[in-house]
Structure 1
Amino acid sequence: MVTPSRNPYPISGAATARHAYAVRGVLAGFAAIWVVTLVGYLIGRFELLGPSGPTVLARLVFFVAAPALLLTTLVRSSPGDIFTGALAAFVLSTVLSAGAYLAITLLVYRHTSKERPDSPALTVGTLAASYVNAGNLGIPVAAYVLGDVSFMAPVLLFQTMLAAPIGLAVLDVTTGGRRPSPRALAMLPLRSPLTLASAVGIGIAATGWRPSDEVLRPFDLVGSAAVPLALLALGMSLRGSRPFTAGPDGRDRYTAVALKVVGQPLLAYLIGRHALGLEGPALLAAVVTAALPTAQNVFVFASRYDRAVALARDAIVLSTLAAAATLVLIAAWLG
């Protein structure tokens, strides 16, 4: 796990200098993230790993490296470090951002001559406005900016155990498929190795047992590859994207992106600071996790049901590019 550098201003009386040091640390962390992402883009641009390279790297992170990183991090944590006010602020901001997208979209189309989008498109847009990339990008951001990837574990659990099953159920019903059974919905989270690793890690931590470093060392070794591989895979996935191309879903696309990178983190700040009384690292964690861009899973969901695929793809690319700026601003402001 990446840990922040030692503060060279340990004595009081230099608040401005300490803040400047923190800002430099944040900028250095994000610089590392985006330099590695750029390397990934160049790898994809010149097809150094072949046409299936991005898929292979993403699957390696999703099924092996990231679960190992989450497992070892959570095993060394306590339940009180996981279920915090920061998670509450994130969950509430997610629900409100999703509701805002629905309200804005329906209100706009009600007052225009354009045809109202169908329910599957509304569902995909709602997910694009609120479902964050807590895996491929959230883990490296938590490592470099927050100094602790355990902040991502409850976010992953919430999304895969609640948000994803609800979204998939709506898509399944509204696209004419069979109504999913309660058992099928309950089994959805078990298909995610990130969720399973998080659940196992939390379960072990709750028992109070701490495996020895020798037992965890293989997991540490594999998990250390999660952050660089995730960033390389993200950069490779950006090749060939044309998110600014005009299209029939342009208004929905920009609405979703604006809510994702500006609206949701603003809601998380207001809820965390003024409703829950959060401050310091807890407030920073709530706002940073809410400001993460749209998850690639939204594209997977849209592709699975063949609805609003372009909307999902372009929202992911645009929100990822925009988050590069908003996350730095947030971390510099609250860090």
Structure 2
Amino acid sequence: MTQVLSGFFIIWLIILVGYAVGKTGALGKNAQPVLSRVAFFVASPPLLFNTLSNSNVFVVLGPQLWIATLSAGIAAGLYLVSARFLLTRRSGSEKMIAALSASLINSANLGIPIAAYVLGDASYSAPVILFQLAIYTPIYVFILDTQTLKESQQGTSGTKVVRAGFWRSLWRIFATVLRNPLIIGSAAGLLFSITGWQLWEPLDESINLIAGAAIPTMLMAFGISLVGSRPLDKEQGRRRDTVLAATIKLLIHPVVAWLLAQFVFQLDAHAVLVATVLASLPTAQNVFVSASRYNTGLIVARDTVFVTTILAIPAMIIVAGLLA
């Protein structure tokens, strides 16, 4: 338990450094997006490559991948069913964004640091990252593409337009997956793990140095993003949406993951802890990116990301205390 609390202390300290940087404006107004892009496009792919190339591929593609898949699907489904009765005046696309808010976790920016410093190995985050990028992202991109197209075409006919939108959605799915740097880094790492290949030593050392920047830049960017946030504004009329999504994300999602790990897959105690802690991670910022892209569900996406991000680490400390 001491090691777990020590890991959380390290993470919070770096987040506070980021908050101080954002509050003082030491790096300018564009510090958060720049640090986030450095972490995502530059440092995280080498980190995932290093992590996965030295991991057992059968562990990465094993029960944790299935737990991530099933628990996220159940969380999203529960939101959609609940919203059908409780939030009847929302569009289908807005409900989908909110369902993502309840089920899509911050597997990279916070997942990798939590896995490394709290769970003891950054590779524990890999199954969740692979699920979200290679499976979940294509599915929700397709759903949002087709749903927003359907909503824009309501009251008109036009099979050709819908058909063109269908093929456009398929192309976007493949393009999204194939161009994602985290997918590329993960796929390369898995390839090296399977084949046993080794990099030329100077190249390997260069990759290690770049990978070392991933976790601090992720956490500082997150700390900067907390400056000036004001969630749950009553006038915006989305409090119930946010509370429902955040409750499912922070309570139901981890409980489902625990039940699956403990009773369905019957994993050992540490693996159960891994599955439950990772399911307790906050909503991914990618949800807000998607909401912006499709211009729907912006308020609930933004507020759920903020609320779950603030409450997730205390929630994970409780989970770790109960299961560690």
Question: Normalized against structure 1, the TM-score is what?
Answer: 0.88
Once residues 122 and 54 of structure 1 are traced to their aligned partners in structure 2, the CA distance between those partners, rounded to angstroms, is: 28
Of 251, 260, 263, the match for 1:271: 260
Of 305, 312, 315, the match for 2:294: 305
**What amino acid does structure 2 have at the position aligned with 1:304?**
R
How far the C-alpha of 1:161 sits from its partner, in A, is: 1.7
Alignment partner, residue 211 of structure 2: 223
Once residues 166 and 87 of structure 1 are traced to their aligned partners in structure 2, the CA distance between those partners, rounded to angstroms, is: 16
Once residues 131 and 313 of structure 2 are traced to their aligned partners in structure 1, the CA distance between those partners, rounded to angstroms, is: 24
Alignment partner, residue 282 of structure 1: 271
Alignment partner, residue 18 of structure 1: none
Once residues 283 and 28 of structure 2 are traced to their aligned partners in structure 1, the CA distance between those partners, rounded to angstroms, is: 26
1:162 paired with 2:135, answer yes
Once residues 224 and 81 of structure 1 are traced to their aligned partners in structure 2, the CA distance between those partners, rounded to angstroms, is: 24
List 4+ stretches of structure 1 deviating above 4 A.
none
Q: Check conservation: 1:76, 1:210, Cα contact below 8 A.
A: no
Once residues 127 and 290 of structure 1 are traced to their aligned partners in structure 2, the CA distance between those partners, rounded to angstroms, is: 13
Once residues 265 and 313 of structure 1 are traced to their aligned partners in structure 2, the CA distance between those partners, rounded to angstroms, is: 21
1:136 paired with 2:117, answer no
Once residues 223 and 71 of structure 2 are traced to their aligned partners in structure 1, the CA distance between those partners, rounded to angstroms, is: 28
How far the C-alpha of 1:213 sits from its partner, in A, is: 5.0
Measured against aligned partners, the alpha-carbon deviations of 1:162-190 in whole angstroms (never above 9, x if no partner) come to 21122122222222373334333222112
How far the C-alpha of 1:60 sits from its partner, in A, is: 0.2
Alignment partner, residue 221 of structure 2: 233
How far the C-alpha of 1:78 sits from its partner, in A, is: 2.0
Alignment partner, residue 18 of structure 2: 40
1:334 paired with 2:323, answer yes
How far the C-alpha of 1:50 sits from its partner, in A, is: 0.7
Instruction: Write out aligned runs for 1:251-266 (5 A).
Output: 251-266=240-255
Once residues 141 and 318 of structure 1 are traced to their aligned partners in structure 2, the CA distance between those partners, rounded to angstroms, is: 18
Q: Check conservation: 1:85, 1:282, Cα contact below 8 A.
A: no
**Matched residues, number:** 308
Once residues 308 and 240 of structure 1 are traced to their aligned partners in structure 2, the CA distance between those partners, rounded to angstroms, is: 21
**Structure 1: stretches of 5+ with no match in the other structure:** 1-22, 110-114
Q: 1:175 aligns to what SS in structure 2?
A: helix
Alignment partner, residue 112 of structure 1: none
Using the TM superposition, name which of 180-189 and 256-265 deviates more: 180-189
Q: Check conservation: 1:161, 1:188, Cα contact below 8 A.
A: no
Alignment partner, residue 14 of structure 1: none
Of 36, 43, 49, the match for 1:71: 49
Q: Check conservation: 2:68, 2:127, Cα contact below 8 A.
A: no
**What amino acid does structure 2 have at the position aligned with 1:318?**
V
Once residues 103 and 136 of structure 1 are traced to their aligned partners in structure 2, the CA distance between those partners, rounded to angstroms, is: 29
Q: 1:126 aligns to what SS in structure 2?
A: helix
Instruction: Write out aligned runs for 1:20-35 (5 A).
Output: 23-35=1-13
Once residues 150 and 210 of structure 1 are traced to their aligned partners in structure 2, the CA distance between those partners, rounded to angstroms, is: 18
Of 190, 208, 211, the match for 1:202: 190
Q: Check conservation: 1:38, 1:235, Cα contact below 8 A.
A: yes
Measured against aligned partners, the alpha-carbon deviations of 1:256-298 in whole angstroms (never above 9, x if no partner) come to 1111111101000011101110122211111111111000000
RMSD of equivalent CA atoms: 1.4
1:88 paired with 2:51, answer no
Once residues 60 and 90 of structure 1 are traced to their aligned partners in structure 2, the CA distance between those partners, rounded to angstroms, is: 26
Alignment partner, residue 119 of structure 1: 92
Once residues 244 and 188 of structure 1 are traced to their aligned partners in structure 2, the CA distance between those partners, rounded to angstroms, is: 31
Q: 1:181 to 1:89 in 2, by over 3 A?
A: closer
Q: Which has the higher helix share?
A: 2
Once residues 125 and 91 of structure 2 are traced to their aligned partners in structure 1, the CA distance between those partners, rounded to angstroms, is: 33
**What amino acid does structure 2 have at the position aligned with 1:237?**
S
1:49 paired with 2:38, answer no
How far the C-alpha of 1:214 sits from its partner, in A, is: 4.4
Once residues 266 and 82 of structure 1 are traced to their aligned partners in structure 2, the CA distance between those partners, rounded to angstroms, is: 22
Once residues 148 and 157 of structure 1 are traced to their aligned partners in structure 2, the CA distance between those partners, rounded to angstroms, is: 16
Q: Check conservation: 2:44, 2:182, Cα contact below 8 A.
A: yes
Q: Check conservation: 2:232, 2:242, Cα contact below 8 A.
A: no
Once residues 195 and 146 of structure 1 are traced to their aligned partners in structure 2, the CA distance between those partners, rounded to angstroms, is: 22
Using the TM superposition, name which of 116-125 and 166-175 deviates more: 166-175
Q: Check conservation: 2:280, 2:316, Cα contact below 8 A.
A: yes
Once residues 101 and 172 of structure 2 are traced to their aligned partners in structure 1, the CA distance between those partners, rounded to angstroms, is: 23
How far the C-alpha of 1:211 sits from its partner, in A, is: 3.5
Instruction: Write out aligned runs for 1:285-296 (5 A).
Output: 285-296=274-285
Using the TM superposition, name which of 207-216 and 240-249 deviates more: 207-216
